[in-house]
Amino acid sequence: MDFKSVSKIIGINLKHHFLPHFILSLIIAFLTPIIFGTSSLNANESAQPLEMLVSLTGIVLITPIFLPEQNKNIRDFMRSKKIAYLAVCALRLLYSVICLAIIFGIFTGCMAYSECAVTFRHFVGGFSSALFLGALGFCLAGISGNAVIGYMSSMIYYIVNFALKEDLKNYYLFSMSTGSFHEKYWLIFCSIGLFWMTFIYVGIAEKYFR
């Protein structure tokens, strides 16, 4: 895949598939300061808006990577192309994760400007929760072949975090709000694992039974 093809694929996907999801994630990010206070917060308080609200942008941006191909016509069209379907999905995943990082970067920057005690750890911590939520949705959407399943699973997991804090242990999304950070490494590694597993599964499924 040459640079020209890559930029063309990214351009088309950004315009036709990514934009509505990106706008929704921006709406979430813009609503967060209205719902939460985001000025003069200490370290634990600063983690709350990042982990509890901005992290939802992960679901919105990463879950629908396979969404365009839910339309049978687009799926058949994609299969007829020279460039591998999974390579296109990998590109979509790449720019979605980059945009997610940008949203978190800007939001954390705004919080720092508003005299919140945020550091680089807050950026990584919030981003990892969002990445995990997105990866979970991405995985289940990829396996089931339906994005709604992905959204639903991520949303259920998000709700579960409010009720089962103790039971989730290393997979607790809001750990930074309670002053703990080591869970974030687990979330990042598991997200990478989920991405990897999904690509392998979708690759096999595309080849043999879809």
- In the complex, which residues of this chain contact another protein (CB under 8 A)? 20-21, 24, 34-37, 39-41, 45, 48-49, 52, 60, 64, 70-72, 144, 146-149, 151-153, 155-156, 159-160, 163-164, 167
Distance of CA 58 to the CA centre of its chain: 3
Q: Which residue has the tokens 């995990």?
A: 132
Q: With respect to another protein, which residue has the nearer C-beta, 7 or 40?
A: 40
Least Å from the CB of residue 143 to another protein: 10
**Minimum gap (Å) between residue 95 Cβ and another protein:** 18
Nearer to another protein, 70 or 180 (CB): 70
Nearer to another protein, 113 or 189 (CB): 113
| CA 196/CA 163 separation, integer angstroms | 29
Closest CA to 43 of 180, 154, 191: 180
Lookup result for tokens 């039974």: 209
Question: What gap in Å lies between CA 14 and CA 23, rounded to an integer?
Answer: 12
Exposure b/e, 148-158, CB count within 10 A at least 16 = b: ebbbbbbbebb
Task: Measure the CA–CA gap between 150 and 62, rounded to whole angstroms.
Answer: 10
Burial 31-52, CB ≥16 within 10 A → b, else e: ebbeebebeebeeeebbbbbbb
Between 71 and 119, CB nearer to another protein: 71
Shortest Å distance, C-beta 140 to another protein: 9
Q: Which is nearer to another protein, 1 or 35 (CB)?
A: 35
Smallest distance from the beta carbon of 80 to another protein, in angstroms?
18
Q: How far is the CB of 99 from another protein (least distance, A)?
A: 17
